[in-house]
């Protein structure tokens, strides 16, 4: 196994990769082609996750949801509402509340090497007074309600079901979720707040099977708590969960391939880590955001761009979120569960 490269070499490698990525290549006639490491940029379904798509991937391959609808949500509207949600997140961490040590950055081509390039934890300090805020407390109560191994059915107690409802009640009190509901109501997606909350509960907490026919997964478990499938970490896109597991000695931070441009929270980090014996090759997460902020943006993108790349704007910087639908089972009137949602890029 190779030795960990020094930070300066990793940065040079990353810059070299960026030059390659900007080569004048196209996804024309290449959408959904198999990954080929010899290509300078890619057009497969997972290229947004690894940040190596061709520049025209979204326009040629990432056809956006609701484009057929007379009340389609435009890219400009998504950027506008995401900025409003960003400004409304008064529960986010302040700079002095969270101190991270991102350490060594590697190139995307090195993410499979499973080399620990960072001797120190990611989180140097977190002001845990944040966790006493109602939405944080309600969110944290949910994290240990799941078995991380897929293939094992999930069964909730009355208390755990009540915790799901409590979380939804708390986030709906926030300005962040009020902004989101007002926008979706105006867009004719929901006729009442009750309908909206009911849909959120189904799409995020409804159980479905990722394998063996067991109801072993949900959008919330996958995205925020994390799962292990076929020996690999899947999901696990939340900074609070990461911090708490790292504090317990269950997460070992290895490296990162991307650090966002924001000079205040929320920020974005795409990282590699080991979770109690299982590796996460690329795990992007907001850092320092409130639970309602992440919940709102992921919900927005799943509703407006299901299974597509969703182009947003936060503090003047562009941000892309990818969602995937779970197509093997549905709820309600043929609606699909959320399979996953995560930040894929922030490009100029």
Q: Which residues are catalytic?
A: 222, 237, 280
Q: Is the torsion defined by CA of 98, 101, 105, 111 positive or negative?
A: negative
**By three-state DSSP, how is residue 329 classified?**
strand
Neighbours of 255 (CB within 10 A): 25
Helix axes 134-143, 291-304, angle to 10 degrees: 70
Can you spell out the DSSP letters for 107-150? -GGGGGG-----SS-SEEEE-GGGGGSHHHHHHHHHHTSS-SBT
**Helix, strand or coil for residue 276?**
coil
Task: Give dist(CA 176, CA 22) in Å, integer.
Answer: 36
Residue 327 burial (CB count, 10 A): 10
Structure-token pair, residue 345:
């890029």
> Residue 280 phi/psi, 5° resolution?
-110, 115
Sign of torsion over alpha carbons 12, 254, 258, 337: positive
Matching residue, tokens 């190139």: 107
Backbone dihedral angles phi then psi of residue 304, each to the nearest 5 degrees? -90, -30
Among residues 166, 164, 189, 167, the alpha carbon closest in space to that of 81 is found at 189
What token pair was written down for 111?
């993410």
Q: Please state whether beta strands 317-331 and 335-345 pair in parallel, antiparallel, or not at all (unpaired).
A: antiparallel
């Amino acid at each position: 196994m190779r030795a960990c490269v020094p930070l300066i070499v990793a940065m040079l490698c990353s810059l070299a990769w960026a030059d390659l990525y900007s080569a004048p290549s196209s996804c024309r006639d290449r959408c959904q082609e198999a990954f080929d490491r010899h290509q300078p940029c890619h057009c497969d379904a997972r290229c947004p996750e690894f940040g190596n798509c061709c520049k025209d991937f979204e326009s040629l391959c990432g056809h956006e949801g609701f484009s057929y609808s007379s009340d389609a949500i435009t890219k400009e509207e998504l950027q506008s509402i995401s900025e409003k949600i960003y400004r409304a997140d008064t529960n986010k961490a302040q700079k002095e509340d969270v101190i991270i040590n991102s350490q060594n950055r590697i190139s995307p081509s090195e993410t499979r090497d499973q080399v620990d390039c960072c001797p120190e934890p990611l989180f140097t300090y977190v002001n845990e007074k944040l966790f006493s805020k109602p939405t944080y407390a309600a969110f944290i109560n949910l994290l240990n309600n799941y078995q991380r191994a897929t293939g094992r059915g999930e069964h909730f107690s009355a208390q755990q079901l009540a915790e799901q409802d409590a979380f939804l009640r708390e986030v709906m009190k926030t300005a962040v979720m009020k902004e989101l509901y007002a926008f979706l109501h105006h867009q004719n997606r929901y006729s009442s707040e009750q309908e909206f909350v009911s849909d959120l509960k189904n799409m995020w907490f409804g159980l479905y099977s990722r394998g063996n026919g067991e109801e072993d997964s949900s959008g919330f478990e996958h995205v925020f708590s994390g799962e292990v499938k076929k020996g690999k970490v899947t999901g696990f896109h939340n900074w609070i969960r990461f911090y708490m597991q790292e504090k317990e000695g269950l997460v070992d931070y290895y490296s990162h391939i991307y650090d966002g441009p924001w000079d205040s929270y929320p920020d974005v980090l795409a990282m590699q880590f080991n979770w109690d014996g299982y590796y996460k090759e690329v795990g992007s997460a907001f850092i320092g955001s409130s639970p309602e902020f992440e919940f709102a943006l992921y919900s927005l993108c799943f509703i407006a761009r299901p299974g597509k790349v969703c182009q947003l704007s936060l503090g003047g910087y562009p941000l892309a979120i990818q969602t995937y639908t779970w197509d093997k089972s549905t709820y309600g009137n043929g609606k699909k569960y959320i399979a996953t949602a995560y930040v894929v890029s922030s490009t100029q």
